[in-house]
Amino acid sequence: MCGITGWVDWEKDLSQERATIEAMTQTLTRRGPDDEGYWLSPRVAFGHRRLCVVDPAGGRQPMTRELGGHAYTLIYNGELYNTEDLRRELLVRGHAFHSHSDTEVLLASYIEWGSECVRKLNGIFAFAVWNEREQSLFLARDRMGVKPLFYARRGSSFLFGSELKALLAHPAVEPVLSREGIAEIFALGPARTPGHGVFHDVFELRPGCHLTVTRERFAIKRYWQVESRPHTDDAERTAKTVRELLIDSIQRQLVADVPVATLLSGGLDSSAITAIAAEAFRREGRGPLHTYSIDYVDNDRHFQANAFQPNADAPYVQRVSSFFGTVHHAIEFDTPELVDALRTATYARDLPGMADVDASLYLFCREIKKETTVVLSGECADEVFGGYPWFHREELLHARTFPWSRAIEQRAAWLSPELREWVKPEEYAAQRYEETLDEVPHLPGESPLEARRREMFYLNLTWFMNTLLDRKDRMSMAASLEARVPFCDHRLVEYVWNIPWSLKMWGSREKGILRKALEGIVPDDVLYRKKSPYPKTHNPAYTEATRSWLLEILDDSSSPLHRLIDTAAVRRLALADAKASDVPFFGQLMSTPQLFAYLAQMDVWMRVYHVTIRS
């Protein structure tokens, strides 16, 4: 993986702007600690930070190639999993290659097929190509949004980067919140409206889209989205297809010139990846697979089962590791380092985020990076197959709002009365929800209930999944670790999208068709284990630490948070019993202690980024 950033300007000579593009690029050093590269011309400046995973010598960027006397220059963040398929096709078409890197194959693909090249790619990517003859910039992002790409337009300039911090390093982009940005933070956060960058007039290219910029033209095109059609396969054929697609996805994603491992929670998704990866390692003579799990000091003493987290992971982790003969690494963190990492997690995301859910993942990735460079992770299976409680519980399925963020009135009450009146967070959330429903590709003739489930899947694929992918990308990249997500393979997503609910729930179990597909691959006791989310700390010391931090902020009259919140209301919240409600304010894991941390992260963010508010 890498970090990319660039600047196109139709009036200024950018060949004289190396200092600025270097400043933008250096913000992305953690995404690519192994190498850096620059390319400047009168109209364009590109910067690249590289994390070497495939072909360290042959994949240097920015990369320029010529065809017929016309030059094309590429910067790229991601991995292609069908590199060799594309290489063979391009060789037949007359292209020659000087390396075995996917970077060179991607650039040749663009030269050969232009904007249509994205339809041929299987992978996770965000990239930019400058076409010297046409004086045009082409940017594209992968179908599921695994890799980020932000942009801003300022006068004659167009700016882009892998993270918001790269844009903010340019003097034309300021950390300003308008009404919309405040609503994003208070009504929706840590989710973001697809395509929005929170800061004023800063945007993110949506997943499955590409963008063309010339002096006269700025055009975004959506090249991919799920399509609804009747599913005609029976249960046996459906399970077989799911199995084949998943195995192929995982095997493709094991390719690297550096160590590869898997994350293992003992749940269905990570166990499936571990099982298939371990078998591939054995077959290819790559030695035992290394696996990694996360837990917290004394979590076994403090764990209490609830509807969102029914059982502990540790026994299942050991079961899977032993069964497949992996070299397992159990990593534990204590409360003080978890609280300290909340600040680092804020810098990594450039926004207040998922509190300790982010911070713990950063710490986890930092430890893994000491021994490996690439990990495969089980994210996105619940969005694709319908594993979350809101797919199953009637009151959540039919909630006329985002089901992972139902407490909108409570969230709105955090704002000062003046800002609440101006921002109208309840109306803002409702507007974004309805806009998303308008995008759903319905299937004619579906029952109202099946149509509602399709809406729920679309909401999850475009919103909740992107929040978790943001988390995975920023926290892993902050530790210079590449995280791959096999359940995000677009072929698998396209197929499962149209499987009817009765088949998805095969055997009357959540993700039942996935369980059926994995029979004989994953041990039965793990295969039929009740779903449990990413592990979080249950230590009451964490609650007290975040409460104390928030109270210190509320007592500090210089805190920028006071400009936004109803201080008295937040103070009452901080002093109330943290166990009064088990209902998360976001997702499955973010309840009262995480709320304290989210508001504390907001204070850090506003101070460090010098955030201002514009009416």
| Residues with a known catalytic role | 2
Token representation of residue 242? 């799911």
Cβ–Cβ < 8 Å for 114, 36? no
Cβ–Cβ < 8 Å for 61, 2? yes
**Separation of alpha carbons 393 and 562, rounded Å:** 38
**Separation of alpha carbons 471 and 468, rounded Å:** 5
Burial of 9-41, coded b for 16+ CB within 10 Å and e otherwise, reads beebebeebeebbeebbbbbebbbeeebbebbe
8-state DSSP, 391: G
By the 10 Å C-beta count (0-12 exposed, 13-18 middle, 19+ buried), 213 is classed as: buried
Token representation of residue 581? 């409600």
Token representation of residue 303? 């764990």
State the sign of the Cα–Cα–Cα–Cα dihedral 73, 154, 145, 147: positive
8-state DSSP, 583: S
Token representation of residue 366? 């930092």
**Separation of alpha carbons 250 and 276, rounded Å:** 7
* 557-564 long-range contacts, CB within 8 A, separation 24+: 559/603, 559/607, 560/603, 560/606, 560/607, 560/611, 561/599, 561/602, 561/603, 561/606, 563/416, 563/613, 564/182, 564/186, 564/415, 564/416, 564/419, 564/602, 564/613
C-alpha neighbours within 13 Å on the C-beta side of residue 112: 20
Map residue 3 onto helix, strand or coil.
Answer: strand
